Amino acid sequence: MSPRKAISLSRNESPHGPLPGIVAAIAATGQDANRYPDLACVELTRALARRHGVAPDRVIVGAGSCALLHALFQVIAGPGASAVYAWRSFEYYPVLANHTGVRSELVPLVDGAHNLTAMADRITDATRLVLVCNPNNPTGTLIDRDELRVFVDRVPSACLVALDEAYFEYVDGSSGTGGLELCDSYPNLVVLRTFSKAYGLANLRVGYLIGSADIVTSLRDLCLPYAVSGVAQRAALAALDLEDALLTRVKETIAERTRVRAALMAEGWEVLDSQGNFVWLSLGEDAIPFCEYCARAGIELRVFTGEGVRVSIGSESDNDAFLTAAHEWSVRNAAATIIGATGRVAGRQEW
């Protein structure tokens, strides 16, 4: 018998496989595997520009938003350049900073949320980039659009603000983040989005950035040629055509996020109000033992040692399996505490 496949709730992926229309687009592109893809992603760039009501010269497509983030770091890199961002946030920010020789200025979150005042205070003449992950990965907190505007107003025009909106589609309600609107008024602000999450194309590597035409032009010079495959371009175009069906699935994930959070809180867990496709458990030293416990139950979570655990929202049955494991962990922990208090077992229990 083959071993049971682990339930993956560690990578903030969509639990939904591609819709038939997207599978068909992928299969059709397979016929052209001997041909190079469109170098400038012209059709997809135009479709995205139409979708967001901006000129095509303000849009650049990349091999995932990670590739575009990398290009942003390269654009600003130079002697003494630094980037300011909240911490904890997306774990690749420091990796990309290291790759490009940019110094990271980390500004601690407060209760899981960006401290924008402290971030603005941290900007110096050497700061070339400010990254704002909204909603924040891994805590899921969202910055209010007014708060965002006040912050961007404080950032000097020589410093680029990158709003990483990888989880934008999972924000509750229609108000969104206001990032794209700000982009029209502030030439030093760019917005990054991805097809990896809500559009379910993580494996194909396609994301995009919207900003001023000048910034987009300088990024084009840095992105590797032919990095976005034809398969990714066609699949993203098909996903845009099927957006309504995909966003219905996103609503299901939002409903599951609400259900998972409520179930955890009913059992006494502290869970922040997440606006991503994940929830954050601030477990401190319990983060590793809890993750190990869940791993033994066949569930993979993302651990941040000594800080917490990020749990991606999966299918209903995968979420149920996680809730069962979390419930069992609570029960065992409560029992261990009682036994410890009566002096029958010394020290903490390892499960």
Options 45-53, 64-72, 224-232, 306-314: segment touching ligand PLP (CB under 6 A) = 64-72
What 8-state DSSP symbol labels residue 88?
A: S
Q: How far is the CB of 302 from ligand PLP (least distance, A)?
A: 10
CA distance 199 to 5: 24
Please select the residue that binds ligand PLP; options are 26, 66, 283, 299, rule is CB under 6 A. 66
Strand order in the sheet with 302-304: 278-281, 308-312, 302-304
Query: Is 49 exposed, middle or buried (CB count within 10 Å of its CB: 0-12, 13-18, 19+)?
Result: middle
Identify which of 132, 90, 140, 135 has the alpha carbon closest to the alpha carbon of residue 273. Answer: 140
Q: 39, 76, 34, 87: which is closest to 60 by C-alpha?
A: 39
List, in order, residues 6 or more apart from 189 with CB less than 8 Å away: 152, 160, 161, 162, 163, 179, 182, 183, 211
Q: Interacting stretch for ligand PLP, rule CB under 6 A, among 2-10, 61-69, 265-273, 303-311? A: 61-69
Binding flags for ligand PLP, 249-288, as an x/- string (CB under 6 A): ----------------------------------------
By CB under 6 A, the count of residues binding ligand PLP is 13
| Contact between 196 and ligand PLP per CB under 6 A | yes
| Strand 207-210 versus strand 189-194 pairing type | antiparallel
Q: Which is nearer to ligand PLP, 67 or 260 (CB)?
A: 67
Question: What character string, x for contact with ligand PLP (CB under 6 A) and - otherwise, covers 18-57?
Answer: ----------------------------------------
Task: Write down the least CB distance from residue 194 to ligand PLP, Å.
Answer: 3
Rounded to the nearest whole angstrom, what is the least distance from the CB of residue 271 to ligand PLP in the complex? Answer: 19
**Cβ 284 to ligand PLP, closest distance in Å?**
22
11 or 348: CB nearest ligand PLP = 11
Whose Cβ is closer to ligand PLP: residue 198's or residue 321's?
198
Whether residue 166 contacts residue 65, with contact meaning beta carbons closer than 8 Å, is answered with yes
Q: How many CA atoms lie within 13 A of 344 on its CB side?
A: 6
Coil vs helix vs strand at 24: helix
Nearer to ligand PLP, 70 or 329 (CB): 70
Closest distance of CB 300 from ligand PLP, Å: 15
Name the one range near ligand PLP by CB under 6 A: 59-67, 98-106, 305-313, 316-324: 59-67
> Which two three-digit tokens encode residue 46?
């135009």
Instruction: Give min distance, CB of 12 to ligand PLP, in A.
Output: 5
Residues in region 79-138 near ligand PLP by CB under 6 A: 90, 133, 137
Q: Are 37 and 233 in contact (CB under 8 A)?
A: yes
Q: Considering the complex, what minimum distance in angstroms separates the CB of residue 330 from ligand PLP?
A: 28
Rounded-to-integer distance, Cα 313 and Cα 255, Å? 10
Tell me, residue by residue from 132 to 171, as one string, x for binding to ligand PLP by CB under 6 A and - for no binding: -x---x--------------------------x-x-----
Which residues, numbered 215-254, are part of the site for ligand PLP (CB under 6 A)?
A: none
Helix axes 20-30, 230-241, angle to 10 degrees: 150
- Backbone phi, then psi, for 92, in 5-degree steps? -85, -10
From first CA to last CA, the distance across the chain in angstroms is 27
For binding to ligand PLP (CB under 6 A), which residues are involved? 12, 64-66, 90, 133, 137, 164, 166, 194, 196, 202, 207
